[in-house]
Amino acid sequence: MTLRFAGYAALFDRRDKGGDVIRKGAFARAVREKGAAPLLWQHRQDRPIGRIERIAEDARGLRVIGRLTPGAGDEAAALLRDGAVGGLSFGYRVRAKHDAPQGRELIDLDLIEV
């Protein structure tokens, strides 16, 4: 049985632990050019666990709808069902930013993986 999920890989206008803030529109180019990124377990390139069915920016952030592949995504599915996994994360490269005293404002990002 496959598990389908939805959530946010990134939220706009919130300062992260490193002081960065992602601004609305930061993923627009990447999503338009590349579409979906790989769905990986714990950011490991050797651990794809499913596929992203839909990815888009909305007013809140980068919203993802995905499906875990049976076998490859079983660990993630079990942890999601148990409530032990509470969010998504993403890998990125900065293409454009504004430096500020309190941290960077990220305005254009390459999306590497979710």
Name the domain count of the chain: 1
For residue 86, the enclosing domain spans 3-113
Percentage of the chain surpassing pLDDT 70?
99
Q: What is the pLDDT of residues 54-90, one digit of tens each?
A: 999 999 999 999 999 999 999 999 999 999 988 899 9
46 by Cβ neighbours in 10 Å (0-12 / 13-18 / 19+) ranks as: exposed
10, pLDDT greater than 80: yes
Integer CA distances (angstroms), 72 to 50, 78, 104, in order: 7, 12, 36
The DSSP secondary-structure symbol of 16 reads: -
85 by Cβ neighbours in 10 Å (0-12 / 13-18 / 19+) ranks as: middle
> Other CB atoms closer than 10 Å to residue 12's CB: what's the count?
19
> What's the rounded Cα separation, in Å, for the pair 22 and 91?
13
Compute φ and ψ for 77, nearest 5 degrees: -60, -45
1, pLDDT greater than 90: no
Mean pLDDT of 37-57: 96
